[in-house]
A and B are shown apart, each in its own frame.
Chain A
């Protein structure tokens, strides 16, 4: 079974630039999550989708971060404009059900803002 695919694997940008990350969840997984993991800390949920609807985006900095999951499959996370403190690993995960069955993480995108 293919896992959760993310791209790019690494990204370096200057502050105030824009960046976008892509995630393709496991086929059939209705729930998709974007997490931010700052070095030395546990992941923090940014946004959770159930199919193509947003379930939880309470911790998403909406002034600069946006995410969408058109057609309920792939998802993109965008940062515009980036700040130095956005340097982190951005993890995408998916699960079969809203209750978390089959929770699977992608390899992450490591973002460095200079």
Chain B
């Protein structure tokens, strides 16, 4: 069992739909990151969370520390949101070394 699990692995949506990607983890963490990776591209950090909720534009990230669960929401999705979204956690005992989920491939069709 992976320490960080994401669902779904693949997600196809129509432009304008509300999208949710989930992340569950099994270890104590100091922070959780949501990252975005376009094909052939580097990784962009979207959010770093240790509690509560953060919002940036159409993106919202929430975390429930007690339940060891985080969600990334995209409102009014657009084809340019198509990318791999990766959840990564910094374990309490490992400083800032990140353990990554396997990613969610999101495709938004026009």
Residues of A bordering B, CB below 8 Å: 6, 31, 33, 41-45, 48, 55-56, 91, 93, 95, 97-101, 103-108, 110
The answer, yes or no, to whether B59 is at the interface (CB within 8 Å) is: no
Can you list 20 A-B contacts with CB-CB less than 8 angstroms, sorted by A residue number?
A33-B96, A42-B86, A42-B101, A43-B100, A56-B97, A91-B42, A91-B43, A93-B43, A98-B95, A99-B30, A99-B95, A100-B33, A100-B90, A103-B48, A104-B45, A105-B35, A105-B43, A107-B41, A107-B42, A108-B42
Please pick, from A101, A103, A106, the residue contacting B42 in the complex, using a CB distance under 8 A.
Answer: A106
**Residue B94 interfacial (CB < 8 Å):** yes
Main secondary structure on chain B at its contact with chain A? strand
Whether B98 is near chain A, meaning CB under 8 Å from some CB there, is yes
Residues of A within 8 A of B88 (CB): 42
B60 at the interface (CB under 8 A from A): no
Interface flag for B15 (CB, 8 Å): no
Asked if residues B45 and A103 are in contact (CB atoms below 8 Å), the reply is yes
Closest chain A residue to B30, Cβ basis: A99
A101 to B45, CA, bound (A): 11
Q: Contacts of A33 on B, CB cut-off 8 Å?
A: 96-98
CA distance A48 to B91 in the complex (A): 15
Q: Mark B74-104, 1 if CB is under 8 A from A, else 0.
A: 0000000000001010100011111011110
Within 15-32 of B, Cβ neighbours of A (below 8 Å) are at 30-31
